[in-house]
Each structure stands twice: as structure tokens, then as C-alpha cells.
Amino acid sequence: MRLTSLSLFSSILACSILSACTEMPDETGLIINNVTVVDAVSPIRAERSVVIRDDKIFAVNPALKGQAANTSNVIDGSGQFLIPGLWDMHVHFLYEPRLTEQMADLFLRYGVTSVRDTGGNLAKLVALREQLTARARPSPQIYFSGPLLDGKFVVYDGSDPARPALGVDVPNENTAHARVKQLKDAGADLIKIYELVQPDVYANLVAAARSHDLPIASHVPLMLTADEAGPLADSMEHLRNIELACASNWRDLLDQRRKTISNFTEGLGYELRRGLHSAQRLPAIAAYDENRCNEVLDTLHSTTQVPTLRLNTVFQQQPWTREDWPAALTNMPDEVASQWQRQIDLLQHTNTPPDDRFAKWSLFLISRLLEREVPIAAGTDTPIGLGIPGYSLHTELELLVASGMTPNQALYAATVAPTHFFGNTKQIGQIKPGMTADLVLLNANPLDDISNTRNIAAVMSQGVWAYP
């Protein structure tokens, strides 16, 4: 049977553990037969049968032939392509409360089976993960940091309803160690350091995270440069503040930045950060120095970059002009879809074209990261900036390829690279025996065109069919 009919597909789901015709006929499992297996590490493998038992890949064998291929637990994958489940390495489940409950299902709909939440209320995230784990239908695997660890002035302090309270203050060394211990004890999978922390606090947060065996995601703190902070972290987000470090006049810009922050004694952290970015980002890009930038990027060989190109270029790429956007928007909660459409309508009636210099810089920097062998992982910052969960990840992959990656490199960025951050490369991200059965069945080859990752026939999460 072939996965082209939902009714046929549903009949398979109704089966429990059934007998499989493999090289070991007494074994049980579900078999995706005569499929082309594609992962970013192994050569492409045509005419294979992939055996799933419980939540694991049990075997990858030559395709079954004859009567053995026609048993009730065998799915015909002829002409289709099986890839590992995709990751989104930068999401915020709590940013838009009206969307939170639907995000898990939207991720799975688009083949995203693992996500890294990089900032939100810890207690709410713990409760959300417990709720999703306990429900009858599948859920993505969710890893979270808890709140953004910020400075005395917190960027996302909740003072504006449009910007939820995602951060907490870490004003000194003692607070740094206490915050990290609290996160570890509460079940956080990583920590996320934000932009207004002081240099000594940054160092203490790093030391505390290492002592608790927690990986570190970080923005580049505004009091530091990318080559100072980056090597201490396991990932850096959005490509922000690399532009300052790559500028010929980086020392002068950094001095100005430090003075502004040191003299800031009253006000909102959000406004402080926004003012510095507005004043320095574009001048830094204009002062780009390739030799200096090579020095900076060469310090980041062990620090995964999560570019979020989808976010950085949203006003230039205008995802709402894609043919598949209206259908994707209808899957969103009505209130959110209506609000987003109003924002889009307003943008379309604005006569002033958006400034595209940071967008172009972001796309340009991907080629430099590739040249200097800096690791890259795919993330979107959904739902910020009109980011539809799951859907936006495919846009990210397309932009990575447009910026210089091969389709295989982009697939690696969304399957294997994230596992290096969490140290679970032996458990997930490839299609081979012993790996978690997070799988996406495609109707076309993503190595021919990365946009084919959108052409989804079915999604499996931990051995259970999650979509359609």
C-alpha cells in the first residue's frame, strides 16, 4: 500500500504491532518499503526497506520483493524519499499565547519533530511539555532554556504587552550561579544568555552552565564582541553583533557602546538595546573589513550559528506573497491569522521600502561562515516576525541554499547540526538502526531542490505517525 490516501494511511495506524517480513521473519514492526533513504551523512540509498520497531529504527534493508512486500504492515514508498525529522533550533512557544497550544501540531504538520525553545517562563514551559507528553497524539521533542538571562535592565521584561516577559535579570556573579542552578533543578535543557549582561556576569554564567552540564545558547552581549563571547558559547543566534566585530573601526564602536550602557541608569532595556542597534548596526556593516572578519569567524569553529535568515529577511522576502501562504495562514488560530493579515495589509500600503542592508548582510555572511568552516544550524525564531510554526523552517532552508549552501548542507543544518549542540548525535538525526524514528516521507528528492522538503506525504514522531 502507498501513502497517497488518508483512508489507507489511517487503516495502517489502526494496526498495532504486526509481523514483518524482513531477514528476521519473527521480528515485528512497521516497514516503509522500496523508499529512497536520504540523510545528510550517508550516501543516498535507493530501494530500501526501513523497519520501525516501537520508537526506533530497527533496520535499513534492501527493498522487499514479491509477496513479502504485500503484507499489511508494509507501506509502499515507491518513488518517495525518507529523510530524518527536521529541527527548528530557535522557537518561542510562549511569545504568542493565542498560538501556544497549536504550535506542536503545526510543527509536526510541516515535518519538524524536534524544537529548541530559547526563551520563556520556565514553569509554563515545564507544564506545556508535560501536557504534550501526556496527550494521546504525538508531540515534537521539546528542549527549552527557560528565561533569557539578561542584565540589570531586561530587554523582554513584560513592560509592553506587545513584548512578553521572556527574560530575567542577572545583575551580579552570585545571581548568575543561583539562576543557573535554579534552571537546572527545574529541568532546563540549556541556558540562553541575552544582550545586556555584563562581561563578568557572562563569564560566571558560562562557568555555572559548565558546572551543571548545560549547553549555552547566547546572543553576543553588547559589552563584548563576537570573538570574545562566541567561543564560550555552544551557539550564537541571529548573526547579530558579528557586524560590529567585523568592522574596521570595531574598537571605537565597542567603546561607544560600553559608555552608553555604563551611563544608562534609568529606562527600559528594550529601548537601550534598540537604540544601540539602530545607531551602530548599519555603520558597522558599511565598515566591513574582510581580514578582521576572518579573524573573528576563525574563533567560532566550535560555536554553532543559528542565523534565523527567515526573520532577518522577512520584510524583503515577503513570505505572504508565496502561493502557499494563504493556505498556511488558515491553519493558524483565527485571532492570530487576522492580526497578522492586518500587519501585512499595513506593510503593503506603506510607500517607504524597507531598509535591506542587514538582510543582505545576513545572506552574505552565510557564505563567509561556510568558507571559514563555522557550523550552522537551522532556526526561525517563530512565531516572531510572522513566523508560522513549521512552515517557516522550510523558508529557512531555502534561504540557506540561496546563500551558498548545497541542499545536503541545508538538510544537515536541520537534522544533524542541532544534535551536536545537545550531544545526542548517536540517538537522532540520521536514518540508521538504533536512531529515534523521527522521519518525514517526501514526494520528491530534497537534494534536487531543497524546496521539496515542503512536499510532505507523512510525518513520523518517535515511531508514531503524526501527520496526516
Domain borders along the chain are 6-84+431-467, 86-422
DSSP reduced 3-state for 57: strand
143-158: burial string, b at 16+ Cβ within 10 Å, e else: bbbbbbbbbbbbbbbe
Sheet hosting strand 86-91, strand order edge to edge? 86-91, 112-117, 141-144
DSSP-assigned states of every residue in 80-119? -EEEEPEEEEEE-TTSSTTTHHHHHHHHHHTTEEEEEE-S
Which secondary structure element, helix H or strand E, spans residue 399, and what is its range?
Answer: helix 391-402
Residues 6 or more apart in contact with residue 133 via CB below 8 angstroms:
139
Helix axes 357-371, 290-297, angle to 10 degrees: 60
- How long, in residues, is the chain? 468
Separation CA 278–CA 287 (nearest Å): 15
For residue 31, the cross-strand partners are 51, 74
Q: How many CA atoms lie within 13 A of 363 on its CB side?
A: 16
Instruction: Give the CATH architecture of domain 86-422.
Output: Alpha-Beta Barrel (3.20)
Separation CA 446–CA 412 (nearest Å): 12
Separation CA 24–CA 461 (nearest Å): 25
Q: What pLDDT does residue 3 have?
A: 57
DSSP 8-state symbol, 27: -
Residue 467 CB neighbour total at 10 angstroms:
20
The label of the residue with cell 508514531 reads: 464
Whether the Cβ atoms of residue 283 and residue 289 lie closer than 8 Å to each other: no
Phi and psi dihedrals of 329, rounded to 5? -65, -30
Whether the Cβ atoms of residue 399 and residue 451 lie closer than 8 Å to each other: no
For residue 216, the cross-strand partners are 191
Strands (E), 128-286: 141-144, 148-150, 157-160, 163-165, 167-169, 191-193, 216-218, 235-237
For residue 439, the cross-strand partners are 84, 460
Strands 439-442 and 86-91: unpaired
Q: How many CA atoms lie within 13 A of 332 on its CB side?
A: 26
Q: What pLDDT does residue 2 have?
A: 54
> Given this structure, which CATH class describes domain 6-84+431-467?
mainly beta
Q: What pLDDT does residue 352 have?
A: 85
Q: How many CA atoms lie within 13 A of 133 on its CB side?
A: 9
One pLDDT digit (tens) per residue for the chain, 468 residues: 555 433 334 434 433 333 333 344 334 689 999 999 999 999 999 999 999 999 999 999 999 999 889 998 999 999 999 999 999 999 999 999 999 999 999 999 999 999 999 999 999 999 999 999 999 999 999 999 999 999 999 999 999 888 899 999 999 999 999 999 999 999 999 999 999 999 999 999 999 999 999 999 999 999 999 999 999 999 999 999 999 999 999 999 999 999 999 999 999 999 999 999 999 999 999 999 999 999 999 999 999 999 999 999 999 999 999 999 999 999 999 999 999 999 999 998 887 888 999 999 999 999 999 999 999 999 999 999 999 999 999 999 999 999 999 999 999 999 999 999 999 999 999 999 999 999 999 999 999 999 999 999 999 999 999 999
The label of the residue with cell 498556511 reads: 328
Whether the Cβ atoms of residue 148 and residue 119 lie closer than 8 Å to each other: yes
Which CA distances in Å does 254 have to 243, 258, 324? 11, 6, 43
Whether the Cβ atoms of residue 108 and residue 393 lie closer than 8 Å to each other: no
Separation CA 100–CA 122 (nearest Å): 14
